[in-house]
Amino acid sequence: MNHKLSVTVQVDLDGEYVRVLATGCLTEASQRALHPLIRRARIPTPGIHVTVDLSGAHHIEATGMELLRRALEDTDSAGSRPVALVVPDVLPHHRITVSPESRVTPDSSAGTGPARKVAA
């Protein structure tokens, strides 16, 4: 399964608000990519508001979520504001959209799959 995380960082014109918008898949492995971004986002202003928004993610692993939460707590220091985390109520699972072109037939060599059309 291909888990891909996309991250967009939006900075308010005043530089007081930073929104880290993560879409795609948040997994145990991919959540690590957010750590340096969040750390960097908090440096410019001590009182900066940082929000990590996961409401647009297609897939959130509970373990990935937990690791991210813990990492955010670790960076909470030196009078910085805690990072706000926006998470959907129900963690979305990885959905595979099957299009006719990319469908894989496990017994394609047999050629006797049900309802299989062979182009002439």
Nearest Cα to 28, choosing from 69, 75, 56, 58?
Answer: 69
Q: b/e string for 12-45 if b means 16 or more Cβ within 10 A?
A: eeeeeebbbbbbbbbbeebbeebeebbeebbeeb
Residue from 84, 94, 105, 116 touching Zn ion (CB under 5 A): that is 94
Q: Which C-beta is closer to Zn ion: that of 28 or that of 49?
A: 28
User: Closest approach of Cβ 44 to Zn ion, in Å?
Assistant: 32
Binding of Zn ion at residue 81 (CB under 5 A)?
no
Total site size for Zn ion, rule CB under 5 A: 4
Residue numbers at the binding site for Zn ion (CB under 5 A): 3, 25, 59, 94
